Amino acid sequence: MVLHLSTFHLEGGAGVAAARLHRALLKSGVDSNLLVPNAQRQEAKTAGLSNTKTQSRMSWARFVGERLYFYPQEKDASIRFAFSPAEVGTDISRHPLVQAADIIHLHWINFGFLSMHSLDKLFALGKPVVWTLHDMWTFTGGCHYSRGCERFLNHCQYCPYLAKPDEYDIAFQQFERKQDIYSKTKIALVSPSQWLDKLVKSAALTENLQSLSIPNCIDTTLFKPLDKIEIRRKLNLPESKKLILFAGANTADPRKGFKFFKQALDKIGALSNDTEVLVLGKANAEMMASFPLPLHYLGKISDPAEMVNVYNAANLIVVPSLEDNLPNTIMEAMACGTPAVGFATGGIPEMIEHQVNGYIALQGSAESLADGIIWVLNDENHTALSQSAREKVIQLYSESVVAAQYQQLYQSLLPHE
């Protein structure tokens, strides 16, 4: 039995990816279970640790405790959730699902779910561990994305995320603890993108551990092309306009590059009067103010069927992330036949093939981003772009393809008689 561990169930890119893999493995015949702090709805072989009000309060208290521990040490509020000290968590080593598991499969486990102590207890069980990395935290001293810092290549210390960086700061301490924990069991690190896998292979903490790249998966029978005009009528969107989609969990997060998107639209607005914008996700009034093009704010949508409708309503999606692994939004849009435009960063160029199923813009250039958006919107062969986007997802990211790769990895880690 494979047991997946994830902080989130049906929200956040990492939580969604973990749940999708769990479902894909079940469909392929693998005995898979998913354990999360809070199950958001009933789902096959999915269990939550918080089944009573008291347990839910304890889960929340662990999250708060984790953040309070870091609060006095953070450089400023902008990095509050960008660094996880992993000091507060729960010991699940004696949980029945953990005890019964043949393989422990970790995903994103921060924010008070598993602490360094929790990981130590898990790894000490001696069970094979697979860890799917959804950011850089596994091989750093605590940051989820390093923002250009390369100390993880040797040894984390003098961390730029901290108010008082020091030779033996908490980044140094976490690095040392991870080094000790990783030596205690057989572990394989899986990166959804080749970009992240290259970092794993070069990072001091993980360069000697087994590592490989297997992408996230998606249900291509759910995320698929639909009738664009019909969907726009259903969503009360203009039928004849060109619609540009920005979908981000939080537009205020600098890493998501929303300001570059807005700057790119300034150029497009001066050239076009038949183009409008869809924004999906958490946003604030300040970010939406004085927008250069007519805007349709759709809010936060978590229902997959509604998300499929939004992707189908758009002519393209723009993902101007400055750091990212293998964004679910690109995969979801492309599965629906919607071309993507993004910066040449992280795993994005592995998904978007330049001028084949979308457009790769120069990193951090709003002008290049605008050029890409205009190219896709004006491309006479939009049908070919759409078909290429869908085909890329079916070939590389469909459930059966990804599940088979994980099955092969699991078998290689289990003892053979």
| 258 is a domain residue | yes
Residues 172, 255, single domain; the answer is no
User: Which strand ranges, in their side-by-side order, compose the sheet holding 316-319?
Assistant: 295-299, 275-282, 242-250, 316-319, 340-343, 358-361
Residues 203, 233, single domain; the answer is no
Residues 80, 207, single domain; the answer is yes
Provide the pLDDT for residue 250. 63
Kindly tell me if the per-residue pLDDT of 289 is higher than 70.
Answer: no
Residues 15, 77, single domain; the answer is yes
Provide the pLDDT for residue 249. 56
Provide the pLDDT for residue 78. 85
State the alpha helices, DSSP H only, in 203-273. 228-234, 258-271
| 277 is a domain residue | yes
Residues 126, 153, single domain; the answer is yes
Residues 198, 323, single domain; the answer is no
Residue 99 CB neighbour total at 10 angstroms: 12
State the alpha helices, DSSP H only, in 221-365. 228-234, 258-271, 285-288, 304-313, 328-335, 348-351
CA distances from 313 to 74, 264, 286 (A): 41, 21, 26
Kindly tell me if the per-residue pLDDT of 164 is higher than 70.
Answer: yes
Kindly tell me if the per-residue pLDDT of 379 is higher than 80.
Answer: no
DSSP character for 352? P
| 203 is a domain residue | yes
Residues 389, 406, single domain; the answer is no
State the alpha helices, DSSP H only, in 314-362. 328-335, 348-351
Tokens representing residue 239 in the block: 């039928």
Sign of dihedral through CA atoms 407, 410, 412, 417?
Answer: negative
DSSP character for 77? G
CA distances from 14 to 152, 186, 193 (A): 22, 23, 13
Average pLDDT estimate for 238-251: 84
Residues 209, 342, single domain; the answer is no
Provide the pLDDT for residue 25. 98
Give the residue, 415 or 231, on which the prediction is more confident.
Answer: 231
Residues 179, 257, single domain; the answer is no
| 223 is a domain residue | no
Residues 190, 240, single domain; the answer is no
pLDDT tens digits, one per residue of 90-114? 999 999 999 999 999 999 999 999 9
Q: Calculate the average pLDDT of the chain.
A: 92
- pLDDT band at residue 255 under the 50/70/90 scheme: confident
CATH number at residue 62: 3.40.50.2000
pLDDT tens digits, one per residue of 301-332? 888 999 999 999 999 999 998 888 888 999 99
Residues 188, 255, single domain; the answer is no
Give the range of the structural domain holding residue 16, as residue numbers without chain letter.
Answer: 2-217+399-413
| 370 is a domain residue | yes
* Domains of the chain: total: 2
Average pLDDT estimate for 25-46: 94
| 173 is a domain residue | yes
Tokens representing residue 276 in the block: 């409008």
Q: What H or E segment, with its residue span, contains residue 96?
A: helix 96-100
Residues 254, 134, single domain; the answer is no
